[in-house]
Amino acid sequence: MGKRVFSKKIVFYLALIVTIFLIFFSIMSFLSLFDDFNIITLIITIFSIVVNLFAFVHLIEKYNRAVLFLNLSLGVFMLDSLSFVVLALKMSPGNLNEILTSFHFKILVFGTIILIIINRYSLKENKTEIEIESIGTHND
């Protein structure tokens, strides 16, 4: 029986597609540094590329930490797009329509929905394998 990371196959494919898009956006963000260089953006972008590549490898190999790295990569992407900062700056009673139609708000909502779906259908560690391995060891 093969290893599984998610309980549904469609969620696994969704996670792979999202990881590929995140790697693409991270590389494009790195290439845009040549236009306007900033050391903080460089650090965040390099961290984002590394975490996205770890998430992709862990998903392909179906390791237990795949969901953790995918959560980290989505979180870094949402922070990298500065969704929270832009929305916080626009917060005022008269700008509600502008906030709801903002591209940054859509990124934030899309990332949150994907995080909820991925965490809802992720498989937890299977404790029966550990119990089977510990038979005869007399751990009282």
Residue of 76, 70, 90, 87 whose CA lies nearest to 29: 76
Give the pLDDT confidence score for residue 90 in this predicted structure.
Answer: 64
Q: How far is CA 81 from the centre of its chain?
A: 13
Q: Where are the beta strands (DSSP E) in the chain?
A: none
Give the pLDDT confidence score for residue 92 in this predicted structure.
Answer: 65
Find the mean pLDDT for residues 69-88: 74
Give the pLDDT confidence score for residue 85 in this predicted structure.
Answer: 60
Other C-beta atoms within 10 Å of 115: how many?
17
Give the pLDDT confidence score for residue 96 in this predicted structure.
Answer: 67
Find the mean pLDDT for residues 109-133: 74
- Enter the pTM of the model: 0.72
Cα–Cα distance, 35 to 25 (Å, whole number): 16
Specify whether the CB–CB gap between 58 and 66 falls below 8 A: yes
- pLDDT tens, residue by residue, 92-106: 666 667 767 777 778
Q: From residue 86, how far is each of 13, 36, 97, 99, 107 by CA, in Å?
A: 31, 19, 14, 9, 12
DSSP 109-133: HHHHHHHHHHHHSBPPP-HHHHHHH
- pLDDT tens, residue by residue, 10-69: 988 988 998 999 899 888 888 888 887 878 778 888 898 999 999 999 999 888 888 888
Q: How far is CA 95 from the centre of its chain?
A: 29
The three-state secondary structure class of 80 is helix
Give the pLDDT confidence score for residue 2 in this predicted structure.
Answer: 63
Give the pLDDT confidence score for residue 56 in this predicted structure.
Answer: 92
- The two three-digit tokens of residue 43, written as one number: 């650090």
Give the pLDDT confidence score for residue 83 in this predicted structure.
Answer: 53
pLDDT for residue 133 is more than 90 = no
Name the one residue in this structure whose structure tokens are 């494919």.
Answer: 13
